[in-house]
Structure 1
Amino acid sequence: MSVTEVPGFTAAGVTCGIKPSGKPDLAIVTTADGAAVSAAGVFTSNKMTAAPVLVCREHLATTGGKAAAVVLNSGNANAATGAQGMADARQMCKETAAALGVAPEEVLVCSTGLIGYALPMEAVSAGITAAAAAQTAEGGPQAAEAIMTTDTVSKQVVVAGNGFTVGGIAKGAAMLEPNMATMLAVLVTDAAADPETLQQALRAGVAGTFNTLTVDGAESTNDTVLILANGQAGPVDPGALTQAIADACESLALQMADDAEGSTKTVFLRVTGAASDAEAAKAARDTANCQLVKCSWYGQDPYWGRIASEMGAAGVAFDHTNLTIAYGPHVVYDHGEPAHPPELAEYMTGRRLDLHVDLGMGDGSARIITTDLTHAYIDENMGTS
């Protein structure tokens, strides 16, 4: 279940010394024959944009949406690193290109980890050489492991389409906030698609998955989702390709939520009955990012009063007499009146919770995937060391 289950792609993951722990920290994903193929990407909207994101955008623009390889490092984000950071990101592409026999602009680059620290380029260079030598058609799991930071498990997926396949790897356990949700993902497919079609399919796939995920309301400097399509399976229906990409992104997004730093609950918050989809999304996001609500989930407390409060404070069309709140099948607030279903306590002990809020104001709807807030999350994020 990884990128290398898609015919025509190889990958590798190695340890080069970026991480003090000695765990794997550099990966490559590449076309097996070194050919540049259709490629697309979506990136963070954070204006404090990391150097690798800028270089990816630059290379996709230069090639008209073509790439032969992706090089990724973990343990250092190469963000807020000034001119040296840009030079280092470009150097990673040049060295990967030289090792693989491709053009530098055909290499895309991703970094993840601590912000504000220069990359240890001697270690990175050694890692690129080692990864290029180690790439195989079975190397996807090693690549997935090498991009992990605070993740406790690697994230991988394979989706079988009608005559084609989409595979992917991802990392992400915190700083997950829509547009996009800190994360990196590399998808590959053997479907044939021109760069414009691939870009449209990727944007659509990300919109309802990664962009609906929030763990802590913090948007990263480095968020990147890339896809390469080598065309070995031939032309496919664009709708089928879009759906397969969305299915892959959905799986990876849920894997991230379930592995979010210190989380004990993954919550699927659905808001319906809003005056518009935009108002539904605003109310859902505000509630999902409310620390009081998140702490209550950790305590297995439905705390519907705080949810109602957040909905009312979201700046959307609202009338408390129209409001209904339910956890799974258990209605806790019904058109302005509280309810106390006896089975709710047991439901709240589950790992995954379905929370449905109907505002009763229109036809707008939205979904957010989020998590609780725990002692372990605070422990993980008290410092940079």
Structure 2
Amino acid sequence: MTASGLKFPQGFRAAALAAGIKPSGRTDLSCVVSDAPCVWAFAGTRSTTAAACVTRNREVYAQGGPVRALVVNAGNANAATGQQGARDNAAIAQALGRVLNVDAQAVLTASTGIIGHLLPMDRVLGGLERLPGALGPDALPFASAIMTTDTRPKTAHATLSTGARIVGTAKGSGMIHPDMATMFAFALSDAQVDQAVLRAAFPGIVNRTFNAVTVDGDTSTNDMALVLANGQAGEVDPAEFLTALERVLRDLARQIAADGEGATKLLTVQVTGARSEAEALAAARTCCVSPLLKSAVHGNDPNWGRVIMAVGRSGAAVAIERLTVAVQGIPVFAGKPLPYDAAQVSASMNAPEVVFAVNLGVGNAEGEAWGCDLSAEYVRINADYTT
């Protein structure tokens, strides 16, 4: 199913419109509402300069109650905006709650865009009044409205054996090196699941998916990931649900990496032979964030020494005499340099996805991370971001 035909699970409706937050005039205010209370799990940035939306959502999360709606604005992060920013964020939740007849404490908020600017609250509040009239089951308008420098909307979905569904949407292209989740990722399901089980499993799922993504080494002030389940499709097997949820979030994570600012290729690093999953993920993500390796990938340069360098500084244990590296399935190092056809490897790297396979030679744990190549276009985008 393409994003254009994707519907949210039963009991969920969404709306999107242009409230005038973005100078471009594109859609920039959206919401999702559930007909029934949702159990939920949340992960927010560990940045010490977290935005008002992350701080408030974390407080609501600690209270443990159900949620009914999520409101998102794009074009303005409402971060580093002081007490006024916090008041504006709370006012958005209250306003949407009022127009939807939902308790404000059951409304979550999310903001993305430029840091350090107060929201144009007259436009936001005016847009919120119009959102209920635009509610419908289609996922694409919502997925498009949450974008900033993304070049395309990001969606993924799964259907369980009972017929229950999970539909995920995400945004993210730059300022991506998460320490919890990534940019925005919202997964909605009509499955009936236990909140305690969901919350216990979610940190591990996030760590293996969104925490394994990097574009440029910068962690946003507004990163968050959410999963909401309203139970409208009935009970499901918890293990099947969590497996499907991780599959959906992994798909979204790869889409974010592939759509990194200025990216022309998806960079995948698969690490095996690690002492622990945490060390495998650290080694893989360090490779993906290395500007040297990312530049080599952009130029189709099979410079495997940059993998050795990145792994060595990652903090993961390595036995270099047993360390192996392969590029696009072609072995280039196994405790010592291997003979290979550089032109052949270079040609294999001229592809939408470039895969490095690394065995650290010290254990049985594994992990995978995703990034993208580094192009001159990345510099252009960020040099002109506010001007």
Q: TM-score normalised by the shorter chain: which range applies?
A: over 0.9
Question: Distance in 1 between the 2:327 and 2:319 partners?
Answer: 20
Q: Quick check: 279-288 or 39-48, which moved more?
A: 279-288
TM-score of the superposed pair, with normalisation by structure 2 = 0.94
Flag the 1:244–1:313 CA change in 2: closer, same or farther, 3 A: closer
1:162 aligns with 161
1:10 aligns with 13
2:194 aligns with 194
Question: Distance in 1 between the 2:7 and 2:42 partners?
Answer: 19
Q: Secondary structure at the match of 2:231?
A: strand
1:262 aligns with 262
Letter in 2 for 1:67: V
Q: What are the Cα deviations for residues 298-352 of structure 1, in whole angstroms up to 9, with x where unaligned?
A: 1111211222222233344334332211012201112212332353122110110
Q: Secondary structure at the match of 2:221?
A: coil
Consecutive unaligned residues in structure 1, runs of 5 or more: none
Deviation at 1:3, TM superposition (A): 7.4
TM-score of the superposed pair, with normalisation by structure 1 = 0.94
Identity fraction in percent: 39
Flag the 1:121–1:201 CA change in 2: closer, same or farther, 3 A: same
Q: Does the CA contact (< 8 Å) of 1:201 and 1:238 recur in 2?
A: no
2:22 aligns with 19
Flag the 1:376–1:360 CA change in 2: closer, same or farther, 3 A: same
Letter in 2 for 1:151: D
Q: Secondary structure at the match of 1:68?
A: strand
2:42 aligns with 41
Q: Pairwise mapping of residues 299-314 of structure 1 onto structure 2 (< 5 A)?
A: 299-314=299-314
Question: Distance in 1 between the 2:284 and 2:186 partners?
Answer: 28
1:111 aligns with 111
1:324 aligns with 324
Q: Does the CA contact (< 8 Å) of 1:192 and 1:231 recur in 2?
A: yes
Deviation at 1:182, TM superposition (A): 5.6
1:249 aligns with 249
Query: How much is the aligned-residue C-alpha RMSD, in angstroms?
Result: 1.7
Flag the 1:309–1:7 CA change in 2: closer, same or farther, 3 A: same
Question: Distance in 2 between the 1:211 and 1:182 partners?
Answer: 7
1:223 aligns with 223
Consecutive unaligned residues in structure 2, runs of 5 or more: none
Flag the 1:312–1:208 CA change in 2: closer, same or farther, 3 A: closer
Tell me how many residue pairs correspond in the alignment.
Answer: 381
2:130 aligns with 130
Say whether residues 1:384 and 2:386 are aligned partners. Answer: yes
Letter in 2 for 1:376: E
Q: Does the CA contact (< 8 Å) of 1:202 and 1:245 recur in 2?
A: no
Q: Secondary structure at the match of 1:232?
A: coil
Question: Distance in 1 between the 2:313 and 2:253 partners?
Answer: 28
Q: Secondary structure at the match of 1:5?
A: coil
Deviation at 1:43, TM superposition (A): 1.1
Q: Secondary structure at the match of 2:189?
A: strand
